Amino acid sequence: MEDNLPINVREYQKLAKKALPKMHYDYINGGAEDEYTLRENIAAYGRIMYCSPHQLFTTSLKSGSLLFSVYYTGEVATARAAAACNTIMVLSFSSSCRIEEVASSCDAIRFYQLYMCKRRDVSATLVRRAESLGFKAVVLTVDRPVIGRREADIRNKMIAPRFVNLEGLMSSDNDIESAEGGSNLERFSRETLDPSLSWKDVEWLKSITSLPILLKGIVTAEDARKAVEAGVSGVIVSNHGGRQLDYAPATISALEEVVKAVEGAVPVLVDGGIRRGTDALKALALGANAVMVGRPVLYGLAARGEAGARHVIEMLNKELELAMALCGCRSVAEVTRAHVQTEGDRIRALL
């Protein structure tokens, strides 16, 4: 073990800020417009308190494997870190490494995150490539009909990496001259992705693959019920990390509504704002079956490469196990709603 390693995600974030060019740090760390939702994703966890812990129990803990899913970009190093930690990696549509390269790098359990393209043949090709390479599920992102106004990227004239998995399938011009308003991401989104995505497209996606399909970007009970009716295999409560509609609710605030609407029919995952194992425990207590982390892993990658990504996942797991122990939970199955008190609970108690 190296000396003076970061001891939490926030310390990794500080190192990442020093290590990355400002343009790239702002890209992974920023949100839409005033970044209220970005901040609220994190702050909302701080308003959830634990109830009085019960500590008289045997101390053998089983937090379970495959609890954390790591996603966004991160490529081969993230895949290896995920494999080492026995967790799931979700490979982004916009990865700068080819699907094949990530698949051959290790035996990590992999999901493929898909944005629906205007050309359905391109979407179908990407899904079939992932399926042939042993990916275990498709994560369809449904909260990006158009790209949010990411002012840091506009100001920095952010130029995204080449989308290598689209080469030979469609144009993905990333030249600075193609950027409108500073960042080229808006033009890419407008020319490539389908803003008319609907429930019929979920049906189409089911028709071309045998892989389970999870919908990412569900934040209301109505959409959660529709997702179940559409026959998906899971839903992910997500607001795109605060990158899309600013002043949308924090995901942890929307989680319980979605869980109740689903009624146990499919697993519910949640992302956005998770910076501690204690955050993960709160999400589990409010009904999530698992949590997903993106930015923390990117901080680890920026600071220390693959070793940093692995260390971040390990830290979150250890923090979770400690929080479980202090709440009297010997396994994830013992985590219940009674372990946390939300703002709503406190208000109702006063009535």
Q: What is the pLDDT of residue 53?
A: 61
* Residue 141, marked binder: yes
What one-letter code names the amino acid at 90? V
% of residues, the chain, pLDDT over 90: 73
Distance CA 8, CA 226 (A): 38
Cβ atoms of 135 and 212 closer than 8 Å: no
How do the domains of the chain map onto residue ranges? 9-350
Give me the mean pLDDT over the 7-13 stretch: 98
Distance CA 228, CA 208 (A): 19
DSSP state of 52: P
Q: What is the pLDDT of residue 57?
A: 52
Q: What is the pLDDT of residue 65?
A: 38
Q: pLDDT tens-digit profile of 61-119?
A: 554 433 555 544 568 999 999 999 999 999 988 888 899 999 999 998 999 999 999 99
Give me the mean pLDDT over the 16-22 stretch: 94
The yes-or-no answer on residue 339 being catalytic is no
Q: What is the pLDDT of residue 170?
A: 75
- Parallel, antiparallel, or unpaired for β 340-341 and 49-50? antiparallel
- Mean pLDDT is lowest, of 39-43, 150-154, 237-241, 308-312, for 150-154
* Residue 216, marked binder: yes
* Residue 55, marked binder: no
Q: pLDDT tens-digit profile of 159-209?
A: 877 788 888 887 655 444 444 555 677 777 888 889 999 999 999 999 999
Which residues are within 8 A (CB) of 15 and not within 5 positions of it... i.e. 6 or more apart?
6, 299, 302, 303, 304
Best CA proximity match to 200, nearest among 111, 93, 94, 116: 116
Cα 333 from chain centroid (whole Å): 22
Cα 165 from chain centroid (whole Å): 20
Q: What is the pLDDT of residue 108?
A: 87
Catalytic residue among 24, 54, 240, 339: 240
- Mean pLDDT is lowest, of 19-23, 218-222, 270-274, for 19-23
Q: What is the pLDDT of residue 176?
A: 40
Q: What is the pLDDT of residue 169?
A: 85
Q: pLDDT tens-digit profile of 122-157?
A: 999 999 999 999 999 999 999 988 889 999 988 988
Cβ atoms < 10 Å from Cβ of 122:
16
Specify the higher pLDDT residue, 52 or 57.
52
- Parallel, antiparallel, or unpaired for β 290-293 and 268-270? parallel
Q: What is the DSSP string of 86-133?
A: T-EEEE-TT-SS-HHHHHHH---EEEEEEPPBSSHHHHHHHHHHHHHT
CATH number, span 9-350 = 3.20.20.70
* Residue 196, marked binder: no
* Residue 247, marked binder: no
Cα 237 from chain centroid (whole Å): 9
Q: Place 56 in a pLDDT band, splitting at 50, 70 and 90.
A: low
SS3 73: coil
* Residue 96, marked binder: no
* Residue 148, marked binder: no
Best CA proximity match to 233, nearest among 253, 258, 255, 216: 216
Q: What is the pLDDT of residue 218?
A: 97
pTM given for the model: 0.92
Specify the higher pLDDT residue, 43 or 60.
43
Q: What is the pLDDT of residue 286?
A: 98
Distance set, CA 232 to CA 30, 148, 226, 308, 339 (Å): 30, 26, 9, 34, 30
Q: pLDDT tens-digit profile of 265-302?
A: 999 999 999 999 999 999 999 999 999 999 999 999 99
Rg (CA), the chain: 20
Q: What is the pLDDT of residue 177?
A: 45
What one-letter code names the amino acid at 130? A
Q: What is the pLDDT of residue 2?
A: 66
End-to-end Cα, the chain, rounded Å: 52
Give phi and psi for 67, each to the nearest 5: -85, -45
Q: pLDDT tens-digit profile of 28-54?
A: 999 999 999 999 999 999 999 998 665
